A and B are shown apart, each in its own frame.
Chain A
Amino acid sequence: MTARGDQSKAGYSHRCNLTQLAIQILRQSIPLLFRLLPFLFYGFSFAIIAASLMHIKLNTMKKILFTLLCFIIALSTVQAQKGINFNYTYAAGGKLLMNIDSLAKNVSYDNIFPNQPRTSFNYLPEVHHLSIQINFRKNINIQHYRYTILIDDKPMVVNQPINEAQLKDSHAGGDEEIFRSMILGTFNIKGKVITTLLYSIDKPQDIDKAVFYGKPIPKAQIKGFAKPTPVVNGYSFGSLIDSKEKIKLNLTKKDDELTIIKDKSAIDYVYYTKIKDKQTNKIIFESTAWQYGGYIDNHEFMPHIKLNKTVFKKSGDYEIIIQPLFSQWNITPKEMEKYTARYTLAITLDQENYSKSELWIYVLRAVLAIGLAFIVILYFIKKRNQKKLAENEQQKNTAKLRLNAIRSQLNPHFMFNALSGIQNLMNKNEIDNANKYLSKFARLTRNVLHDRELISLAQEETLLDDYLQMEQLRFGFQYEINHPENLDLDITEIPAMLLQPFVENAVKHGISKKGAEGKISIAFMQQGKDLLLTVSDNGNGFDITKKNNGLGLQLSNNRITLLNDIYKENRFTLAVQSNPGGTKISLTLTDWL
């Protein structure tokens, strides 16, 4: 162990010669021996009674007595060792040094506290005897110094000048420098508080104070809490609160501060306060100093600390911990608990406070959450779009299929009647004609069965020509297919079986009853970039405003709708004109050429 000296150098030990030490031990053991006398007496009488009862021989008796005596002497020697150890000197603050019981434990010396720069606190709860020594540098005007010693606040010596006759030269810790020193006194400190005050008359305000605390430091107590809402009659404390109790506090918008009031003690300054967030186990507040003024109890200013409300970020449980703060104190946490006051504070906040970093975290989380939600929504939208796209595709496909279905529906009625017509040619022995029409019929059927999406206008012309010739065989009308020279029929393509249904309508509803007078005109025309296809007949016409004008027109309209579904952009436009003099359908394929 090293001790810390004042003014000179830290850590020096005091050296005495051996005789001095022996005298010291003897001096210490005499009162101890006196104290042990009753035990010795009882011991001897017990031994004699026991011996007489047990008929032990005198020789043996002597041995036992000797052993016992040796034991007692050894014990008293140990006791004597517990006396002041002058070999070991502690710094005690200011110009003071101290020597204490050699076996004393739990010693904390020369503690300086915030706002108490001239006070040195020496904690000696297990010390019995204390010797206080004062050291002066040689250049100091010793006559100007005055000292006061208080024992438990009762003055023993007041403003005493230094008796220079008692000053001796001494080396502080083997230092070159020689100090003038004297022993201020030796005290029985157990259960007492000894306070020394030292000042120079040159500076009577600079009083060095040393406190030698010879009893356990009491646990701090919270006297109450106050919210600084001004009341006419000052503030009223809450009732005394047991540390086991949970203190519930509601901090409203109006409350800015919370004041924690501690009980009054002569050594308030040794206590420091911290507040722990029980959820995070983090210390959110620490204070080493107490404030005075404003809170008065029993005519005394009460020590208190003020907390800004923002210390408490969230509602929840907080722990107020008040304990002594010594710079050098070897103490186990378990022992420390004896000095520690703990209070649980259940805070309810009307408005939660967040620190910047917390806010950032929350903002980040919110952004993340929103981002995630956004991504999820985006994902679903995309999925839905994909589904829509797939549906569109499917729609297109079904449209195609349906178109195919309509396309392949070359009217069976026509087909079988056409065959019947060929049968008639055969029966009439018009074998050449029968061959011709049979070939046409075969080609027509082949074209219809051959499932192509697009065919050239030339192919369409052939198909219509075949078809109309077959129909001609049945009804004997006239027809023509016209197109301008500059329209390239081989290159221009149109959806297969586009015109056939319109032509069939013209035959069926237009001219079938007119016989040889009937006439059908088909024209392929170019109008700018559009392809215009027309089918006209000189039949009796029909009322286009009437619904259900035969299956044919309905089918045609369906076909146009389907084609627009497939090719998009409404590129197919159907116009129907009909009057009693005839019917004309015009099919425009926009931007086709």
Chain B
Amino acid sequence: MKAVLIDDEISNLENLQALLNKHCQQVTVAATAQNVNDAVAAIEKHAPDLVFLDIQMGEQTGFEVLKLLPRRNFEVIFVTAYDQYGIQAVKFAALDYLLKPVDIEELKDAVNKAERKLAAQAPGSQLDFLLQQLKKPEASVSKIALQMQNEIRYIGLTEIIRCEADNTYTHFFLADGEKILVSKSLKEYADLLRPNGFLRTHQSHLVNPKYVKSWLKEDGGILLLSSGEKIPISKPNKETVKKALQQL
């Protein structure tokens, strides 16, 4: 895989390159760039399969590199020092990101995943989705990208009835009856969807309040959904769930 590394700090570039050379030998670093313009030029020149993109580059952001490119037919792994601007959008787009200092295992996983995705699907749609999300204010996200085995699905948040944990996987139950399995933990989705009103009723349940029909008092509290499903409410979550439902 041909890769372009983009970061405003030379030591970070050196470091990432060293790590890739040592641990991800399938990756060939075609070029590095320390600013937006150089990055755009490098990508256009080398047409990489994979781009490691620093989000915060001095006073600019890595997203600007993406915006400036007419074609985005490559996989992107974002590299960021700190969870801040844009990271939420990255998560909604189901794109991969690494935190500095880079963890070698995470790096390997990300590279492997990118490799698999490149083999399975045409890259770029997620980046389009990301750029769309970035244009909007953060709270008004209406869709989420779900990475499935061989495809990426963009699901409206209103279509999601609930999510259920299955070890490190998460089942999405959709309004049309479809069930999607995603290889990310429920916790990640809970963190992502909570600002959109989703309720963590239980360690392994995340519920869209739009589909809550009633609160049953049996067994210490159960939510009856309009789909007829009964979702348990664990004790520590009772108060927050109650409050949230009262506000609706």
Q: Is the CB of B82 within 8 A of A422?
A: no
Q: Is the CB of B12 within 8 A of A420?
A: yes
Q: When A413-B81, A513-B58 are in contact, do A420 and B102 touch as well, CB less than 8 Å?
A: yes
Residue numbers in B under 8 Å from A508 (CB-CB): 58-59
B101 within 8 A of A: yes
B132 within 8 A of A: no
A424 within 8 A of B: yes
Which residue in chain A gives the minimum CB-CB distance to B34? Answer: A513
**Closest-CB distance, B167 to chain A (whole angstroms):** 30
Residue numbers in A under 8 Å from B58 (CB-CB): 508, 512-513
Residue numbers in B under 8 Å from A420 (CB-CB): 9, 11-12, 15, 81, 100-102
A513 CA to B57 CA, complexed, in Å: 10
Q: Is the CB of A473 within 8 A of B11?
A: yes
Residue numbers in A under 8 Å from B168 (CB-CB): none
A34 within 8 A of B: no
A427 CA to B101 CA, complexed, in Å: 12
Q: Is the CB of B18 within 8 A of A413?
A: no
Q: Is the CB of B12 within 8 A of A421?
A: yes
Which residue in chain A gives the minimum CB-CB distance to B54? Answer: A417
**Closest-CB distance, A41 to chain B (whole angstroms):** 117
B191 within 8 A of A: no
B8 within 8 A of A: yes
Question: How many chain-A residues does the 8 Å CB contact rule pick out?
Answer: 24
B1 within 8 A of A: no
Residue numbers in A under 8 Å from B81 (CB-CB): 412-417, 420
Q: Is the CB of A427 within 8 A of B15?
A: yes
Q: Is the CB of A417 within 8 A of B59?
A: no
B196 within 8 A of A: no
Residue numbers in A under 8 Å from B100 (CB-CB): 416-417, 419-420, 423
Q: When A420-B100, A420-B101, A421-B9 are in contact, do A427 and B18 touch as well, CB less than 8 Å?
A: yes
Q: Name which of B10, B35, B101, B102 has the most chain A CB atoms within 10 A of its CB.
A: B101
A475 CA to B9 CA, complexed, in Å: 7
B69 within 8 A of A: no
Pick the residue among B8, B15, B18 that contacts A512 (CB under 8 A): B8
Residue numbers in B under 8 Å from A529 (CB-CB): none
A550 CA to B60 CA, complexed, in Å: 12
A414 CA to B18 CA, complexed, in Å: 21
Interface residues of B in 1-50 (CB under 8 A from A): 8-12, 14-15, 18-19, 22, 35
Interface residues of B in 58-79 (CB under 8 A from A): 58-59
Residue numbers in A under 8 Å from B14 (CB-CB): 424, 427-428
Pick the residue among B12, B22, B99 that contacts A424 (CB under 8 A): B12
Q: Is the CB of A423 within 8 A of B82?
A: no
Residue numbers in A under 8 Å from B35 (CB-CB): 513
A425 CA to B8 CA, complexed, in Å: 17
A319 CA to B14 CA, complexed, in Å: 117
Interface residues of A in 462-484 (CB under 8 A from B): 473-476
Sample of 20 A–B contacts (CB below 8 Å):
A412-B84, A413-B81, A413-B82, A415-B81, A415-B82, A416-B101, A419-B101, A420-B9, A420-B11, A421-B9, A423-B101, A424-B12, A424-B15, A427-B15, A427-B18, A427-B22, A473-B11, A508-B59, A513-B35, A550-B59
